[in-house]
A and B are shown apart, each in its own frame.
Chain A
Amino acid sequence: MSRALNAIAAVGRGVFAACAITGRLTLFALSGLSHLVRPPFYGRMFAAALVEMAYFSLPVVALTAIFTGMVLALQSSTGLSRFSAESGIANLVVLSITRELGPVLAGLMVAGRVGAAMAAEIGTMRVTDQIDALRTLSTNPMKYLVAPRLLAGIVALPLLVLVADVLGVFGGFLIATVSLGFAPRIYLQNTMDFMQTQDVVSGLVKASVFGFLITLMGCYHGYNSRGGAQGVGAATTSAVVAASILILAFDYVLTELFFAR
């Protein structure tokens, strides 16, 4: 009996803890977003975060996209050839890249690169009193550290995903024309015929949401880190893990919203 009660109590504690974290995270996000529309604005901080997220993530996102497009073309060729439907390769590559793989893979790459760095930087600022120092200098840390990064995430990821879309399709095109013997003009024609504006737009909207989630997780876990180097390390891990899971969960939710009939 007592074992059963202990188990129920443990579940209850878990539920309450989850509710508390969700509440704190929501308040943090709302506070960060509210500072986006209330002056003063820190344009230099936004620009620095945008360069860090968009420009310096370009190589890793580009490589991921191009290889994904190449693999996709190869694998779909193997599968579709069984039904003599190789002409569907271009369709499959462009839809997969623009709707799903572009935003999700770019999101995961940026979560690992930028989300971790963000959590480490803000976490170090927390444990070395730099955030307190900001407050003594009449500067709201949410406005100075969090809001510009959130905006940079919302803007940067769609830009990266646009590049990823182009390069992913190019990767598929490369394999289709060099290895699988497609005529370049026909492959491109198929790609353009199948691709719809909604495919690209839905991917960009997803990217914006993912960018927000990545920066939110990086900022939240960094801002609330405690206990020196170990705390900063834990915050970094939590930021990447939480952002990755949220990207996959929100990908499903957004796909339902965009494409469920």
Chain B
Amino acid sequence: MSEAVPKLRLRGLRKRFGDKIVLDGIDLDVAPGTSMVVIGGSGSGKSVLLKCILGLLEPDAGVIEIDGRDILQLDGREREEARAHIGMLFQNAALFDSLPVWENVAFGLLARQHMSRPAAKARAVEVLAQVGLAASVGELRPAELSGGMQKRVGLARAIASQPDILFFDEPTTGLDPIMGAIIDGLIVDCVQRLGSTAVAITHDMASARRIGNRAAMINTGKIIWEGPAGELMDSGNPIVDQFTHGRREGPIQMELRR
């Protein structure tokens, strides 16, 4: 019996900066339609992992397969084509300051799909409504928005071109708990509506449980645990348990200078 091809498959992914090994042979499968949450401490390599998958960093070794195709073996144009099916919400939203909100949301539609500006604007307004923002917000500049609104606009930009895979980098960082829960709810709604596969990295446990149906923990450059997101708080793995419960004592030793 053949297994279904994972939407995203990582094998032996390695990345180092000078002497510092950040990713030390990451293996991870994400099945289609799954919401995978990757947790880990600060500096554990979560963001580097995401940047390698997105093509923002070149890994030193390993395989990154999307729909069974190793994107590291593709040429520039083919990689760009593969990336066209990816949406990304950055930690700080990373909205383009020089463009109004609607143009931020419609950026991919204008650049990738060469949609006309009126049609792209209409689609942007539609997507803004999906994340709970009024059409009038489309005319504002990103600097005029609150942190929560910026996250919503970032989410709208990520889903505007209806991607197959969505990536979220610390989606609730810098938000109050209520706004964090609202953003998580929007993420779940959007992922379900689009039927996309989602990968989120976070160290916010409440957010991890809300967004994910699968979870994995990265520590010292390796995936050390993977399982259902519901078992995060009671995984049976001492490293995961220390992290999820925020205990000072345990196998994870933080590097502190006194």
A134 surroundings in chain B (CB, below 8 A) = 96
The winner among A125, A133, A134 for most chain B CB atoms within 10 A is A133
Indicate if the CB atoms of A130 and B96 lie closer than 8 Å. Answer: yes
Q: A129-B90, A132-B94 are in contact. Are A138 and B54 (CB under 8 A)?
A: no
Indicate if the CB atoms of A133 and B111 lie closer than 8 Å. Answer: no
- Tally of A-B Cβ pairs under 8 angstroms: 51
Complex CA gap A134/B112 in Å reads 11
Complex CA gap A137/B99 in Å reads 15
Instruction: Check if A135 is an interface residue, CB within 8 A of chain B.
Output: yes
Complex CA gap A121/B98 in Å reads 9
Q: How far is the CB of B119 from chain A (nearest CB, A)?
A: 17
Tally A residues with Cβ within 8 Å of B: 16
Q: Which residue of chain A has the shortest Cβ distance to B158 in the bound complex?
A: A136
Q: How far is the CB of B215 from chain A (nearest CB, A)?
A: 23
* Interface segment out of the listed B31-39, B61-69, B79-87, B190-198: B79-87
CB contact between B92 and one of A125, A128, A137 (< 8 Å): that residue: A128
Q: How far is the CB of B150 from chain A (nearest CB, A)?
A: 11
Instruction: Check if B108 is an interface residue, CB within 8 A of chain A.
Output: yes
Q: How far is the CB of B107 from chain A (nearest CB, A)?
A: 5
Interface size bucket, B side? 20 to 34
B92 surroundings in chain A (CB, below 8 A) = 128-129
Q: Per-residue CB proximity of B83-110 to A under 8 Å, as 1/0?
A: 1101110111011111000000001100
- Chain A residues 133 to 180 lying within 8 A of chain B, measured CB to CB, are 133-139, 144
Instruction: Check if B55 is an interface residue, CB within 8 A of chain A.
Output: yes
Instruction: Check if A208 is an interface residue, CB within 8 A of chain B.
Output: no
Complex CA gap A137/B96 in Å reads 12
A: residues with CB less than 8 A from B are 40, 121, 124-125, 128-130, 132-139, 144
B: residues with CB less than 8 A from A are 51, 54-56, 80, 83-84, 86-88, 90-92, 94-98, 107-108, 111-112, 157
Q: List 21 A-B contacts (CB under 8 A).
A: A121-B98, A125-B97, A128-B94, A129-B92, A129-B94, A130-B95, A130-B97, A132-B54, A132-B90, A133-B94, A133-B96, A135-B55, A135-B56, A136-B56, A136-B87, A137-B108, A138-B83, A138-B108, A139-B107, A139-B111, A144-B111
